[in-house]
Amino acid sequence: MDTITEIIRMARVQANLDRRCLLAGATVMDMPACGEGEAPFHVLVEGTCTLELPNRPIELLPGDVVLFPWSAPAHRIHTTGDGPAQEAVMTPGDNFATFHSPAGEPVIDLFCGYYMYGAGAGTMFFRSLPNPLHISFAGSGNASEILRMLSTILRQEAENDGPGTAAVLSHLCSALLAMVLRKTNRRFTEAALWTAADDDRIRAVIDAVLREPGADWPIARLAQIVNMSRATFVRHFSHCTGMTVGALLAHIRLMTAADLLTDTDFPVAAVAAEVGYRSESAFSRAFRLATGSTPARFRRNVANNQPTRTLRAYGPPQLTEP
């Protein structure tokens, strides 16, 4: 399984599309703030508009996606036109609401939704992303064409709004998230997106760590994998991912640990060993710093009825210190 697919699985992401906005000129639409566990997104498929944040505006063009991975503030969407601004009006639907202007022909077609993610791995992952994350697919070759096809299906399903529409829209939005996470765009995002490292060698290192989070990964060994000197590797890694080697290694290990605590009945000591901690107490301290909860309390809070996996599925514990 590739890195992005595995990360989305660990984060337990569920996609929801809850509104389509067909707004005419000089219309405003207010979006509420969202808290922990929800990541709102907007994808503009036609026209231009402005997304107004408390501290700055974001100009959106066709093919732009804005994602708020965590702590989304209340914000406003507005279109430009003559006359006083009018407020968008909602028309309920079976699967989502449609927002439109009281008067005038639509000048934008905007889809809005949110991703729900699980505690632990989901929270850790989404908090590792720039907030907000603004990506443009316009003029991006294959990515632009894929988004165009995705937008076409979104619009067709929105027009249909019948049996199965909610499921189709959910899967399309999940596909959109995967496209965003593998897209590098320094034009809008000052911080690097570690899931979209634009160097095959750095991606190979991340893939290796994700496959074997419990292995011994000193920087010298990682640099050797990609035939770089230690200093060059450290510098290049930070540039491509926006994180230090140690921070990303700990991040992946603790995300994996949260996944194991959620989805298996392994003892905490076995989980600690599985992700590379020699000491259960050291693991518990690191996990508490990352999640605000001890491993045992976290497991109790997210206990569910999912079938557990056996330790053999992950191989023998690796007794290494991060």
| CATH of range 197-314; options 1.20.1440.230, 1.10.10.60, 1.20.120.450, 2.60.40.2140 | 1.10.10.60
Closest CA to 127 of 75, 191, 185: 191
pLDDT tens across the length of the chain (322 residues): 789 999 999 999 999 999 999 999 999 999 999 888 899 999 999 999 999 999 999 999 999 999 999 999 999 999 998 888 999 999 998 888 999 999 999 999 999 999 999 989 999 999 999 899 999 887 766 777 888 888 898 889 888 878 888 899 999 999 999 999 988 765 555 567 899 888 899 999 999 999 999 999 999 999 999 999 999 999 999 999 989 999 999 999 999 999 999 999 999 999 999 999 999 999 999 999 999 999 999 999 987 544 433 333 323 333 333 4
Length of the chain in residues, anyone? 322
| Per-residue confidence (pLDDT) for residue 100, from 0 to 100 | 94
According to the model, what pLDDT value does residue 191 have? Answer: 67
The DSSP output letter for 240 is H
137, 183 contact by CB (below 8 A): yes
Residues whose CB is less than 8 angstroms from the CB of residue 73 and which lie 6 or more positions away in sequence, other chains included: 33, 53, 54
Q: Which CATH architecture has domain 3-194?
A: Sandwich (2.60)
262: nearest Cα among 88, 75, 124, 56 = 124
Q: Is 56 exposed, middle or buried (0-12, 13-18, 19+ CB in 10 A)?
A: exposed
Confidence (pLDDT) at 275: 96
Domain-by-domain residue ranges, the chain? Answer: 3-194, 197-314
Domain 3-194 identical in fold to domain 197-314: no
Q: What is the DSSP string of 57-77?
A: EEEE-TTEEEE--S-PPPEEE
Task: Give the residue from 254, 220, 216 showing the smallest Cα distance to 237.
Answer: 220
- Residues 40 and 120: their CA atoms lie apart, in Å, by 19
pLDDT of residue 36: 82
The pLDDT, as a whole number, for residue 314 is 29
Tell me which DSSP letter residue 214 carries.
T
Find out whether 210 and 252 touch, Cβ atoms under 8 Å: yes
Cβ(119)–Cβ(301) below 8 Å: yes
Amino acid at 299: R
In what order do the strands lie in the sheet containing 97-100? 89-91, 97-100, 14-23, 108-116, 38-46, 64-67, 133-136
